[in-house]
Amino acid sequence: MLVTDGVITRVEPGLGTDGQVLNAAGMYVMPGAVDVHVHSRDPGFPEKEDFASLTEAAAAGGVTVVLDMPNTVPAVDSAGVLEAKAALAHSKARVDFGLWGLMRSSTTPDELEEMAAAGAVGFKAYLAYSFSLSRKQVLYAPGSEDPDLEPPADYGTLARLAPVVAHLGLPLAIHAEDPTVLAAFRRPLLTYQDLLESRPPEAEAVALSAAAAVAREAGAHLHVAHLSSALGLQAAEDAMAIGTTLTLETCPQFLLLSADDFDRVGPAMKMLPPIRTAADRAALVDGLQRGVISMVSTDHAPHTDEEKARPLEEAPSGSPGVQTLYLSCLQLAKDMGDVWLAPRWVSESPARLAGLENSKGAVAPGYDADIVVVDPRRKTRVAAHEMRSRQRHSAIEGKEFDFAIAQVYLRGEPVGQGSKAQGRMVRPALVVR
Ligand code: DOR
Ligand code: ZN
Protein backbone atom coordinates (compact mmCIF):
# COMPACT_ATOMS: atom_id res chain seq x y z
CA MET A 1 0.00 0.00 0.00
CA LEU A 2 1.21 3.49 -0.80
CA VAL A 3 0.13 6.48 1.28
CA THR A 4 0.80 10.04 0.15
CA ASP A 5 -0.23 13.08 2.19
CA GLY A 6 -2.51 10.98 4.36
CA VAL A 7 -4.42 9.44 1.46
CA ILE A 8 -4.10 5.88 0.12
CA THR A 9 -2.83 6.11 -3.44
CA ARG A 10 -2.18 2.46 -4.34
CA VAL A 11 -3.05 -0.90 -2.84
CA GLU A 12 -0.93 -3.66 -4.36
CA PRO A 13 2.20 -5.63 -3.48
CA GLY A 14 5.74 -4.65 -4.48
CA LEU A 15 5.46 -0.88 -4.32
CA GLY A 16 9.17 -0.39 -3.54
CA THR A 17 10.95 0.80 -0.44
CA ASP A 18 11.00 4.57 -0.84
CA GLY A 19 9.80 6.56 2.14
CA GLN A 20 8.77 4.91 5.41
CA VAL A 21 8.08 1.19 5.01
CA LEU A 22 5.93 -0.75 7.48
CA ASN A 23 5.87 -4.52 7.58
CA ALA A 24 2.48 -5.98 8.44
CA ALA A 25 3.28 -9.60 7.63
CA GLY A 26 0.83 -11.95 9.31
CA MET A 27 -1.46 -9.09 10.29
CA TYR A 28 -4.84 -7.90 9.06
CA VAL A 29 -4.80 -4.40 7.57
CA MET A 30 -8.28 -3.01 8.06
CA PRO A 31 -9.97 0.40 7.76
CA GLY A 32 -10.28 2.47 10.93
CA ALA A 33 -13.63 2.26 12.67
CA VAL A 34 -16.25 5.01 12.51
CA ASP A 35 -18.12 4.85 15.82
CA VAL A 36 -21.40 6.60 15.06
CA HIS A 37 -22.54 6.75 18.69
CA VAL A 38 -20.32 8.14 21.46
CA HIS A 39 -20.88 10.57 24.32
CA SER A 40 -17.81 12.75 24.85
CA ARG A 41 -19.34 14.65 27.84
CA ASP A 42 -17.42 17.66 26.49
CA PRO A 43 -18.53 20.37 27.08
CA GLY A 44 -20.54 19.70 30.22
CA PHE A 45 -18.97 17.01 32.33
CA PRO A 46 -15.26 16.85 31.47
CA GLU A 47 -14.58 15.06 34.76
CA LYS A 48 -16.45 12.12 33.22
CA GLU A 49 -14.69 12.31 29.84
CA ASP A 50 -13.46 14.95 27.41
CA PHE A 51 -12.50 14.95 23.76
CA ALA A 52 -8.87 14.17 24.66
CA SER A 53 -9.55 11.09 26.80
CA LEU A 54 -12.40 9.91 24.54
CA THR A 55 -10.26 10.06 21.42
CA GLU A 56 -7.20 8.52 23.11
CA ALA A 57 -9.40 5.55 24.01
CA ALA A 58 -10.78 5.52 20.47
CA ALA A 59 -7.30 5.60 18.90
CA ALA A 60 -6.10 2.77 21.14
CA GLY A 61 -9.01 0.64 19.97
CA GLY A 62 -8.76 1.33 16.24
CA VAL A 63 -11.57 3.90 16.07
CA THR A 64 -10.40 6.75 13.83
CA VAL A 65 -13.69 8.67 13.61
CA VAL A 66 -16.15 9.27 16.44
CA LEU A 67 -19.58 10.81 15.93
CA ASP A 68 -20.51 12.58 19.14
CA MET A 69 -24.09 12.67 20.37
CA PRO A 70 -25.69 16.06 21.04
CA ASN A 71 -26.50 15.57 24.75
CA THR A 72 -23.42 17.45 25.89
CA VAL A 73 -24.10 20.63 27.92
CA PRO A 74 -25.16 22.99 26.50
CA ALA A 75 -26.96 20.54 24.19
CA VAL A 76 -26.21 20.90 20.48
CA ASP A 77 -29.53 22.40 19.41
CA SER A 78 -28.30 25.28 17.23
CA ALA A 79 -25.54 26.07 14.74
CA GLY A 80 -23.84 28.36 17.28
CA VAL A 81 -23.54 25.62 19.90
CA LEU A 82 -22.40 23.15 17.24
CA GLU A 83 -19.66 25.50 16.02
CA ALA A 84 -18.42 26.16 19.57
CA LYS A 85 -18.34 22.42 20.27
CA ALA A 86 -16.50 21.81 17.00
CA ALA A 87 -13.78 24.30 17.99
CA LEU A 88 -13.43 22.72 21.42
CA ALA A 89 -13.25 19.21 19.97
CA HIS A 90 -10.75 20.30 17.34
CA SER A 91 -8.39 21.59 20.02
CA LYS A 92 -8.33 18.18 21.76
CA ALA A 93 -9.28 15.35 19.38
CA ARG A 94 -6.69 12.65 18.62
CA VAL A 95 -8.90 11.15 15.92
CA ASP A 96 -11.42 12.66 13.51
CA PHE A 97 -14.84 13.54 14.82
CA GLY A 98 -18.32 14.45 13.62
CA LEU A 99 -21.19 16.02 15.54
CA TRP A 100 -24.87 15.10 15.73
CA GLY A 101 -27.45 17.87 16.21
CA LEU A 102 -30.33 17.61 18.68
CA MET A 103 -33.98 17.57 17.58
CA ARG A 104 -36.01 19.08 20.43
CA SER A 105 -39.81 19.28 20.48
CA SER A 106 -39.38 23.04 19.91
CA THR A 107 -36.76 22.80 17.14
CA THR A 108 -37.58 24.79 13.98
CA PRO A 109 -36.84 23.91 10.34
CA ASP A 110 -34.43 26.86 10.18
CA GLU A 111 -32.46 25.51 13.14
CA LEU A 112 -32.08 22.15 11.38
CA GLU A 113 -30.92 23.82 8.18
CA GLU A 114 -28.43 25.97 10.06
CA MET A 115 -27.02 22.98 11.95
CA ALA A 116 -26.70 21.09 8.65
CA ALA A 117 -24.84 24.04 7.12
CA ALA A 118 -22.55 24.05 10.20
CA GLY A 119 -21.67 20.39 9.50
CA ALA A 120 -24.05 18.24 11.56
CA VAL A 121 -23.85 14.58 10.49
CA GLY A 122 -27.57 14.14 11.23
CA PHE A 123 -30.13 14.78 13.97
CA LYS A 124 -30.99 12.81 17.07
CA ALA A 125 -34.40 12.76 18.74
CA TYR A 126 -34.63 11.40 22.28
CA LEU A 127 -38.23 10.24 22.43
CA ALA A 128 -38.25 9.59 26.17
CA TYR A 129 -36.01 12.37 27.49
CA SER A 130 -37.10 15.87 28.43
CA PHE A 131 -35.02 19.03 28.12
CA SER A 132 -34.11 21.38 30.96
CA LEU A 133 -34.48 24.91 29.61
CA SER A 134 -32.40 26.50 32.40
CA ARG A 135 -29.58 23.92 32.25
CA LYS A 136 -29.76 23.46 28.44
CA GLN A 137 -29.48 19.75 29.09
CA VAL A 138 -31.19 16.54 27.97
CA LEU A 139 -32.47 14.79 31.11
CA TYR A 140 -33.02 11.05 31.42
CA ALA A 141 -36.66 11.54 32.42
CA PRO A 142 -39.80 12.02 30.34
CA GLY A 143 -40.73 15.29 32.07
CA SER A 144 -43.33 16.55 34.51
CA GLU A 145 -45.40 19.63 35.23
CA ASP A 146 -42.16 21.55 35.93
CA PRO A 147 -42.17 24.54 33.51
CA ASP A 148 -38.38 24.24 33.24
CA LEU A 149 -38.78 20.88 31.51
CA GLU A 150 -39.61 20.94 27.82
CA PRO A 151 -41.34 17.69 26.82
CA PRO A 152 -39.38 15.20 24.69
CA ALA A 153 -39.55 15.25 20.91
CA ASP A 154 -42.54 13.06 20.03
CA TYR A 155 -44.04 11.57 16.87
CA GLY A 156 -45.62 14.95 16.11
CA THR A 157 -42.16 16.53 16.21
CA LEU A 158 -40.90 13.84 13.86
CA ALA A 159 -43.84 14.32 11.48
CA ARG A 160 -43.27 18.09 11.48
CA LEU A 161 -39.50 17.92 10.91
CA ALA A 162 -38.84 14.67 9.01
CA PRO A 163 -39.57 16.36 5.63
CA VAL A 164 -36.89 18.96 6.42
CA VAL A 165 -34.40 16.25 7.36
CA ALA A 166 -35.28 14.36 4.17
CA HIS A 167 -34.70 17.52 2.13
CA LEU A 168 -31.27 17.96 3.74
CA GLY A 169 -30.39 14.35 2.91
CA LEU A 170 -29.20 13.62 6.47
CA PRO A 171 -30.17 10.73 8.74
CA LEU A 172 -32.72 11.13 11.51
CA ALA A 173 -31.57 9.07 14.49
CA ILE A 174 -33.88 8.08 17.31
CA HIS A 175 -33.47 6.86 20.83
CA ALA A 176 -36.27 4.34 20.43
CA GLU A 177 -38.09 4.11 23.75
CA ASP A 178 -41.76 5.14 23.80
CA PRO A 179 -42.47 7.26 26.91
CA THR A 180 -46.08 6.08 27.33
CA VAL A 181 -44.96 2.45 27.44
CA LEU A 182 -42.22 3.35 29.92
CA ALA A 183 -44.74 5.25 32.08
CA ALA A 184 -46.97 2.17 32.29
CA PHE A 185 -44.12 0.05 33.66
CA ARG A 186 -42.34 2.48 35.99
CA ARG A 187 -41.24 0.88 39.28
CA PRO A 188 -38.46 1.06 41.88
CA LEU A 189 -35.27 -0.57 40.60
CA LEU A 190 -34.24 -2.96 43.33
CA THR A 191 -33.11 -5.79 41.06
CA TYR A 192 -31.96 -6.13 37.46
CA GLN A 193 -35.29 -7.80 36.73
CA ASP A 194 -36.99 -4.55 37.83
CA LEU A 195 -34.86 -2.63 35.34
CA LEU A 196 -35.84 -5.04 32.56
CA GLU A 197 -39.53 -4.86 33.45
CA SER A 198 -39.42 -1.05 33.63
CA ARG A 199 -38.05 -0.78 30.05
CA PRO A 200 -39.90 -3.54 28.15
CA PRO A 201 -39.05 -4.32 24.52
CA GLU A 202 -42.51 -3.01 23.53
CA ALA A 203 -41.15 0.48 24.27
CA GLU A 204 -38.51 -0.04 21.58
CA ALA A 205 -40.82 -1.69 19.04
CA VAL A 206 -43.59 0.91 19.40
CA ALA A 207 -41.21 3.87 19.08
CA LEU A 208 -39.48 2.28 16.12
CA SER A 209 -42.69 1.44 14.24
CA ALA A 210 -44.23 4.88 14.79
CA ALA A 211 -41.06 6.74 13.80
CA ALA A 212 -40.67 4.47 10.77
CA ALA A 213 -44.20 5.30 9.58
CA VAL A 214 -43.43 9.00 9.83
CA ALA A 215 -40.03 8.70 8.16
CA ARG A 216 -41.42 6.63 5.30
CA GLU A 217 -44.12 9.18 4.60
CA ALA A 218 -41.53 11.99 4.57
CA GLY A 219 -38.96 10.02 2.56
CA ALA A 220 -36.46 10.46 5.40
CA HIS A 221 -33.70 8.06 6.38
CA LEU A 222 -34.42 6.74 9.87
CA HIS A 223 -31.49 5.47 11.91
CA VAL A 224 -32.24 3.50 15.06
CA ALA A 225 -29.64 3.87 17.79
CA HIS A 226 -28.58 0.99 20.06
CA LEU A 227 -31.14 -1.65 18.98
CA SER A 228 -31.56 -3.94 21.99
CA SER A 229 -34.46 -6.37 21.48
CA ALA A 230 -35.84 -9.14 19.29
CA LEU A 231 -39.17 -7.30 19.23
CA GLY A 232 -37.49 -4.09 18.05
CA LEU A 233 -35.66 -6.02 15.35
CA GLN A 234 -38.94 -7.52 14.14
CA ALA A 235 -40.54 -4.06 14.01
CA ALA A 236 -37.58 -2.81 11.98
CA GLU A 237 -37.76 -5.71 9.54
CA ASP A 238 -41.47 -5.10 9.07
CA ALA A 239 -40.79 -1.42 8.31
CA MET A 240 -37.96 -2.30 5.90
CA ALA A 241 -40.19 -4.80 4.11
CA ILE A 242 -42.59 -2.01 3.13
CA GLY A 243 -39.87 0.26 1.85
CA THR A 244 -38.76 2.40 4.79
CA THR A 245 -35.21 3.71 4.50
CA LEU A 246 -34.02 2.41 7.83
CA THR A 247 -30.61 1.57 9.26
CA LEU A 248 -29.97 -0.25 12.49
CA GLU A 249 -27.07 -0.08 14.86
CA THR A 250 -26.53 -2.36 17.82
CA CYS A 251 -23.69 -2.38 20.34
CA PRO A 252 -21.13 -4.96 21.56
CA GLN A 253 -22.74 -5.09 25.00
CA PHE A 254 -26.04 -6.29 23.48
CA LEU A 255 -24.20 -8.89 21.39
CA LEU A 256 -21.85 -10.21 24.09
CA LEU A 257 -23.93 -10.00 27.28
CA SER A 258 -27.39 -10.81 28.57
CA ALA A 259 -29.30 -10.15 31.80
CA ASP A 260 -27.74 -13.33 33.24
CA ASP A 261 -24.41 -11.48 33.47
CA PHE A 262 -25.68 -8.84 35.89
CA ASP A 263 -24.82 -10.74 39.09
CA ARG A 264 -21.20 -10.91 37.95
CA VAL A 265 -20.87 -7.44 36.36
CA GLY A 266 -23.11 -5.19 38.48
CA PRO A 267 -24.18 -1.61 37.63
CA ALA A 268 -21.37 -1.16 35.07
CA MET A 269 -23.91 -3.04 32.97
CA LYS A 270 -26.74 -0.55 33.59
CA MET A 271 -27.66 1.28 30.42
CA LEU A 272 -30.75 2.41 28.53
CA PRO A 273 -32.14 0.58 26.70
CA PRO A 274 -31.06 -2.30 28.93
CA ILE A 275 -29.06 -5.41 28.09
CA ARG A 276 -31.90 -7.94 27.81
CA THR A 277 -32.44 -11.70 27.71
CA ALA A 278 -30.31 -14.39 26.09
CA ALA A 279 -33.05 -14.71 23.43
CA ASP A 280 -32.78 -11.00 22.60
CA ARG A 281 -29.02 -11.33 22.37
CA ALA A 282 -29.33 -14.32 20.02
CA ALA A 283 -31.82 -12.44 17.81
CA LEU A 284 -29.45 -9.46 17.52
CA VAL A 285 -26.47 -11.68 16.66
CA ASP A 286 -28.64 -13.33 14.03
CA GLY A 287 -29.80 -9.94 12.67
CA LEU A 288 -26.17 -8.87 12.37
CA GLN A 289 -25.21 -12.11 10.63
CA ARG A 290 -28.09 -11.67 8.17
CA GLY A 291 -27.02 -8.09 7.48
CA VAL A 292 -30.34 -6.57 8.62
CA ILE A 293 -28.38 -4.84 11.36
CA SER A 294 -25.66 -3.22 9.29
CA MET A 295 -23.48 -1.59 11.90
CA VAL A 296 -22.13 -1.80 15.41
CA SER A 297 -21.52 1.32 17.48
CA THR A 298 -20.65 1.61 21.16
CA ASP A 299 -22.95 4.11 22.88
CA HIS A 300 -19.74 4.91 24.81
CA ALA A 301 -21.39 6.70 27.75
CA PRO A 302 -19.01 7.32 30.65
CA HIS A 303 -20.17 8.19 34.15
CA THR A 304 -17.74 8.37 37.07
CA ASP A 305 -16.52 5.16 38.68
CA GLU A 306 -18.01 6.46 41.93
CA GLU A 307 -21.45 7.03 40.33
CA LYS A 308 -21.43 3.58 38.74
CA ALA A 309 -20.60 1.92 42.08
CA ARG A 310 -23.93 3.14 43.51
CA PRO A 311 -26.94 0.83 43.94
CA LEU A 312 -28.85 0.01 40.76
CA GLU A 313 -31.58 2.61 41.29
CA GLU A 314 -29.13 5.53 41.71
CA ALA A 315 -26.35 4.48 39.35
CA PRO A 316 -26.57 6.47 36.09
CA SER A 317 -26.98 4.52 32.86
CA GLY A 318 -24.22 4.01 30.33
CA SER A 319 -20.66 2.67 30.26
CA PRO A 320 -17.45 3.30 28.31
CA GLY A 321 -16.85 1.06 25.31
CA VAL A 322 -15.11 2.82 22.44
CA GLN A 323 -11.76 1.13 23.07
CA THR A 324 -13.17 -2.39 22.78
CA LEU A 325 -15.44 -1.91 19.73
CA TYR A 326 -13.12 -3.33 17.07
CA LEU A 327 -11.89 -6.25 19.18
CA SER A 328 -15.46 -7.20 20.16
CA CYS A 329 -16.53 -7.16 16.52
CA LEU A 330 -13.48 -9.07 15.31
CA GLN A 331 -14.35 -11.82 17.79
CA LEU A 332 -18.03 -11.90 16.81
CA ALA A 333 -17.05 -11.97 13.15
CA LYS A 334 -14.50 -14.74 13.70
CA ASP A 335 -17.14 -16.76 15.54
CA MET A 336 -19.39 -16.32 12.47
CA GLY A 337 -16.56 -17.60 10.26
CA ASP A 338 -15.34 -14.39 8.54
CA VAL A 339 -13.25 -11.76 10.34
CA TRP A 340 -13.80 -9.38 7.41
CA LEU A 341 -17.39 -8.88 8.51
CA ALA A 342 -16.00 -6.72 11.34
CA PRO A 343 -14.80 -3.80 9.18
CA ARG A 344 -18.15 -3.83 7.38
CA TRP A 345 -20.00 -3.36 10.69
CA VAL A 346 -17.66 -0.81 12.25
CA SER A 347 -16.27 1.03 9.26
CA GLU A 348 -17.94 0.63 5.87
CA SER A 349 -21.62 0.88 6.91
CA PRO A 350 -21.05 3.61 9.52
CA ALA A 351 -19.05 5.71 7.02
CA ARG A 352 -22.02 5.51 4.64
CA LEU A 353 -24.44 6.60 7.38
CA ALA A 354 -22.21 9.60 8.09
CA GLY A 355 -22.02 10.59 4.42
CA LEU A 356 -18.29 9.81 4.39
CA GLU A 357 -18.35 6.92 1.93
CA ASN A 358 -15.85 8.65 -0.36
CA SER A 359 -13.16 9.24 2.25
CA LYS A 360 -13.62 6.78 5.15
CA GLY A 361 -14.53 3.15 5.61
CA ALA A 362 -12.30 1.35 3.11
CA VAL A 363 -8.66 0.53 2.44
CA ALA A 364 -8.66 1.61 -1.19
CA PRO A 365 -7.12 4.29 -3.41
CA GLY A 366 -8.55 7.74 -2.73
CA TYR A 367 -9.54 6.95 0.87
CA ASP A 368 -7.98 8.52 3.96
CA ALA A 369 -5.20 6.30 5.29
CA ASP A 370 -7.08 5.51 8.50
CA ILE A 371 -5.65 2.07 9.06
CA VAL A 372 -5.85 -0.50 11.82
CA VAL A 373 -3.25 -3.24 11.93
CA VAL A 374 -4.70 -6.25 13.77
CA ASP A 375 -2.53 -9.04 15.16
CA PRO A 376 -4.43 -12.35 15.09
CA ARG A 377 -1.65 -14.12 17.02
CA ARG A 378 -2.00 -12.07 20.20
CA LYS A 379 -4.95 -12.16 22.58
CA THR A 380 -6.43 -9.24 24.52
CA ARG A 381 -8.19 -9.52 27.87
CA VAL A 382 -10.41 -6.55 28.72
CA ALA A 383 -9.11 -4.87 31.87
CA ALA A 384 -10.93 -1.60 32.45
CA HIS A 385 -8.16 -0.21 34.68
CA GLU A 386 -5.87 -0.25 31.62
CA MET A 387 -8.32 1.69 29.45
CA ARG A 388 -7.66 5.20 28.24
CA SER A 389 -11.14 6.49 29.00
CA ARG A 390 -11.26 8.71 32.07
CA GLN A 391 -13.55 6.07 33.64
CA ARG A 392 -12.14 2.66 34.43
CA HIS A 393 -15.12 0.33 34.44
CA SER A 394 -16.39 -1.85 31.63
CA ALA A 395 -19.50 -3.97 31.13
CA ILE A 396 -17.28 -6.53 29.37
CA GLU A 397 -14.51 -6.63 31.99
CA GLY A 398 -12.55 -9.88 31.71
CA LYS A 399 -13.70 -10.80 28.18
CA GLU A 400 -10.97 -12.39 26.07
CA PHE A 401 -10.50 -11.71 22.39
CA ASP A 402 -8.31 -13.66 19.95
CA PHE A 403 -6.82 -10.43 18.55
CA ALA A 404 -4.80 -7.40 19.53
CA ILE A 405 -4.72 -3.94 17.97
CA ALA A 406 -1.08 -3.62 16.88
CA GLN A 407 -1.00 -0.17 15.29
CA VAL A 408 -3.44 2.55 14.31
CA TYR A 409 -2.93 5.30 11.71
CA LEU A 410 -4.98 8.43 11.18
CA ARG A 411 -4.46 9.88 7.71
CA GLY A 412 -1.14 8.06 7.57
CA GLU A 413 0.15 9.20 10.98
CA PRO A 414 0.45 6.77 13.90
CA VAL A 415 -1.97 7.58 16.72
CA GLY A 416 -1.93 6.27 20.25
CA GLN A 417 -0.86 7.26 23.72
CA GLY A 418 0.66 10.72 23.80
CA SER A 419 -0.31 11.58 20.23
CA LYS A 420 -1.26 15.16 19.49
CA ALA A 421 -4.63 16.72 18.80
CA GLN A 422 -4.54 15.99 15.08
CA GLY A 423 -8.22 15.12 14.67
CA ARG A 424 -10.33 17.04 12.18
CA MET A 425 -14.04 17.52 11.95
CA VAL A 426 -15.73 15.37 9.32
CA ARG A 427 -18.71 16.76 7.45
CA PRO A 428 -21.14 14.80 5.32
CA ALA A 429 -21.24 15.72 1.66
CA LEU A 430 -24.49 17.74 1.75
CA VAL A 431 -26.88 16.78 -1.01
CA VAL A 432 -29.94 18.96 -0.62
CA ARG A 433 -32.84 17.27 -2.32
O1 DOR B 1 -27.50 4.40 28.90
C2 DOR B 1 -27.57 5.49 28.34
N3 DOR B 1 -26.66 6.45 28.57
N4 DOR B 1 -28.57 5.72 27.49
C5 DOR B 1 -28.79 6.93 26.96
O6 DOR B 1 -29.72 7.08 26.23
C7 DOR B 1 -27.94 8.07 27.30
C8 DOR B 1 -26.61 7.62 27.74
C9 DOR B 1 -25.84 8.71 28.41
O10 DOR B 1 -25.69 9.79 27.83
O11 DOR B 1 -25.35 8.49 29.53
ZN1 ZN C 1 -26.26 7.12 23.59
Identify the band that residue 416 occupies on the pLDDT scale cut at 50, 70 and 90. Answer: confident
Nearest to 414 by CA among 11, 59, 158: 59
Torsion angle in degrees (nearest 10) through CA of 114, 222, 427, 297: 130
Best substitution site from 129, 253, 271 to test ligand 1's pocket, by max atoms within 8 Å of Cβ?
A: 271
What span, in angstroms and rounded, lies between the C-alpha atoms of 107 and 96? 28
CB atoms within 10 A of CB 405: 24
Identify the band that residue 22 occupies on the pLDDT scale cut at 50, 70 and 90. Answer: confident
Does residue 428 sit within a domain? no
Identify the band that residue 12 occupies on the pLDDT scale cut at 50, 70 and 90. Answer: confident
pLDDT in tens, 361-407: 999 999 999 999 999 999 999 999 999 999 999 999 999 999 999 99
Give the per-residue pLDDT at 14.
Answer: 74
How remote is the CA of residue 69 from the centroid of ligand 2, in Å? 7
**Ligand 1: nearest atom to the Cα of 225:** 6
Does residue 423 sit within a domain? no
Mean pLDDT of 111-124: 98
**Ligand 1: nearest atom to the Cα of 317:** 1
Mean pLDDT of 196-221: 98
How remote is the CA of residue 174 from the centroid of ligand 2, in Å? 10
Per-residue pLDDT at 418 exceeds 90: no
Domain count for the chain, please give it: 1
Nearest to 8 by CA among 30, 26, 24, 35: 30
Beta strands in 171-245, from DSSP E residues, in sequence order? 171-175, 221-224
Mean pLDDT of 53-74: 98
How many helices (DSSP H) and strands (DSSP E) are in the chain?
15, 20
At 293, which amino acid appears?
A: I
Q: 420 phi and psi, to 5 degrees?
A: -85, 175
Give the per-residue pLDDT at 211.
Answer: 99
Give the per-residue pLDDT at 432.
Answer: 60
Residue 12, exposed/middle/buried by CB under 10 A (0-12, 13-18, 19+)? Answer: exposed
Q: If you write DSSP's letter for every residue of 137-168 in order, what string do you get?
A: EE-SS---S-TTEEPPP-HHHHHHHHHHHHHH
Give the per-residue pLDDT at 143.
Answer: 74
How remote is the CA of residue 139 from the centroid of ligand 1, in Å? 10
Mean pLDDT of 206-222: 98
Residues in contact with 8: Cβ distance below 8 Å, sequence separation at least 6, in sequence order: 1, 2, 363, 364, 365, 366, 367, 368, 369
How remote is the CA of residue 412 from the centroid of ligand 1, in Å? 33
Does residue 353 sit within a domain? yes
Give the per-residue pLDDT at 225.
Answer: 98
Per-residue pLDDT at 431 exceeds 90: no
Ligand nearest to the Cα of 226, by number: 2
Best substitution site from 39, 45, 300 to test ligand 1's pocket, by max atoms within 8 Å of Cβ?
A: 39
**Ligand 1: nearest atom to the Cα of 316:** 11
Give the per-residue pLDDT at 119.
Answer: 98
Does residue 258 sit within a domain? yes
Nearest to 19 by CA among 367, 417, 412: 412
Give the per-residue pLDDT at 6.
Answer: 97
Does residue 253 sit within a domain? yes
What span, in angstroms and rounded, lies between the C-alpha atoms of 333 and 55? 24
What span, in angstroms and rounded, lies between the C-alpha atoms of 96 and 185? 40
What span, in angstroms and rounded, lies between the C-alpha atoms of 226 and 249? 6
What span, in angstroms and rounded, lies between the C-alpha atoms of 184 and 133? 26
Give the per-residue pLDDT at 20.
Answer: 80
Say if residues 127 and 207 touch (Cβ distance below 8 Å).
yes
CATH code (residue 20)? 3.20.20.140
126: domain range?
A: 2-414
Residues in contact with 159: Cβ distance below 8 Å, sequence separation at least 6, in sequence order: 214, 217, 218
Mean pLDDT of 154-179: 98
What span, in angstroms and rounded, lies between the C-alpha atoms of 76 and 406? 35
Does residue 241 sit within a domain? yes
What span, in angstroms and rounded, lies between the C-alpha atoms of 288 and 345? 8
Per-residue pLDDT at 17 exceeds 80: no
- Please tell me the residue having the least CA distance from ligand 1 atom 3: 318
pLDDT in tens, 124-156: 999 999 999 999 999 988 777 899 999 999 999
Ligand 1 surroundings by CB, under 6 angstroms: 39, 71, 175, 271-272, 301, 317-318
- Please tell me the residue having the least CA distance from ligand 1 atom 6: 272
Say if residues 354 and 428 touch (Cβ distance below 8 Å).
yes
Per-residue pLDDT at 329 exceeds 80: yes
Per-residue pLDDT at 254 exceeds 90: yes
Best substitution site from 140, 249, 298 to test ligand 1's pocket, by max atoms within 8 Å of Cβ?
A: 140
Identify the band that residue 433 occupies on the pLDDT scale cut at 50, 70 and 90. Answer: low
Per-residue pLDDT at 98 exceeds 90: yes
Task: Provide, rounded to the nearest whole percent, the portion of the chain with pLDDT above 70.
Answer: 99
Crossing angle, helix 79-92 and helix 51-60, to 10 degrees? 60
Q: Over the range 101-111, which residues count as b (16 or more CB within 10 Å of their CB) and which as e? A: bbbbbebeeeb
- Please tell me the residue having the least CA distance from ligand 1 atom 10: 301
Does residue 263 sit within a domain? yes
In the three-class reduction of DSSP (H, G, I as helix; E, B as strand; rest coil), residue 361 is classed as: coil
Does residue 420 sit within a domain? no
Look at phi and psi of residue 279 and say left if phi exceeds 0, alpha if psi is from -120 to 50, else beta. alpha
Average pLDDT, the chain: 96
Beta strands in 272-426, from DSSP E residues, in sequence order? 295-296, 371-375, 380-381, 400-401, 404-410, 413-414
At 245, which amino acid appears?
A: T
Longest dimension (CA), the chain: 70
Give the per-residue pLDDT at 362.
Answer: 98
Whole-Å CA distances, 326 to 63, 215, 252, 380: 7, 31, 9, 12
pLDDT in tens, 193-208: 999 999 999 999 999 9
